[in-house]
Homo-oligomer: A and B are copies of this chain.
Amino acid sequence: MRYEKERKQLTRQRIIDVASQRFRADGIAAAGLAGIMAEAELTKGAFYPHFESKESLVRETVAWALNEQHAKIQKNMQAGGIEAVIRGYLNMKHLQAPQTGCPAAALQPEIGRESEQTRGVYMDVLQEYVTTLADNLPDAGSKAARQTAMALFGLMVGTLQIARSAPDTALAKSILDGGIKAALRLIEETPAKLR
């Protein structure tokens, strides 16, 4: 069946959409291609006209999902500045929806085990994300701002991950709350003595 010319791209994007959710929900290693293709309403043989291998799907999907996440924080940034970004990230809604949330929080250690090529593609997108954060810090433009922005992102990622391991909601909330307070302190103007 040869279909309309746009159809292949639509199917391909549908696979990426589904895969990005399965990966974030279950982890990259634990999410199988058969399940992803079934959820995309295709048989698993249809995977290979679109992607070379699972690794190439991972490469494309993870970068795409981080880019989506970047778009989300850009919206929050416009609406309420960096504090809105922090509060939009460290909250129970995000904690409870890993499948549509930040791919770094859901997959970071697994991404670190990927090939150098995959990590390169991922890190390029992450750098753009961090640029958005850095550009909205008090000392925007400096090298220190970039490092602070990266550490701020690290704090948000790590804190959300730990909160997701909490066995009860009260503890999770307290962890997120502490993360917000710490993040707000980080983004204050750099004290002179540390500059």
Residue A112 lies at the interface, judged by CB distance under 8 Å to chain B: yes
Is the pair B123, A171 in contact by a Cβ cutoff of 8 Å? yes
Using a Cβ–Cβ cut-off of 8 Å, how many residues does chain A contribute to the interface with B? 60
A138-164 CB mask vs B (1 if < 8 Å, else 0) is: 000000101110111111111111101
Contact B108 A110 (CB under 8 A): no
**A79 on the B face (CB < 8 A):** no
- Asked if residues B194 and A181 are in contact (CB atoms below 8 Å), the reply is yes
Could you say which of B108, B151, B175 contacts A179, with CB atoms under 8 Å apart?
B151
- A73 interfacial contact with B, CB 8 Å: no
> Main SS of chain A's interface residues?
helix
Q: Does A16 contact B (CB under 8 A)?
A: no
- Which residues of the other chain, B, contact A87 by a CB distance below 8 angstroms? none
CA distance A175 to B119 in the complex (A): 15
Stretch at the interface among A1-9, A24-32, A37-45, A53-61: A24-32
Among residues of B, the one whose C-beta sits closest to the C-beta of A121 is B167
Q: How far is the CA of A147 from the CA of B54 in the complex (A)?
A: 40
Whether B158 pairs with A161 at a CB distance below 8 angstroms is yes
Contact B116 A105, beta carbon cutoff 8 Å: no
Contact A186-B186, Cβ < 8 Å, known A105-B109, A161-B157: yes
Show 30 residue pairs from A and B whose CB-CB distance is below 8 angstroms, ordered by the A residue: A27-B113, A105-B109, A107-B109, A108-B109, A108-B161, A112-B165, A114-B165, A117-B167, A119-B165, A119-B167, A120-B167, A123-B166, A123-B167, A123-B171, A144-B181, A147-B174, A147-B177, A148-B178, A148-B182, A150-B159, A151-B159, A152-B182, A154-B155, A154-B161, A154-B162, A155-B159, A156-B158, A184-B194, A185-B190, A186-B186
User: What are the 8 closest A-B residue pairs judged by CB atoms, nearest first?
Assistant: A147-B178, A158-B158, A151-B182, A154-B159, A154-B158, A112-B164, A157-B158, A29-B29
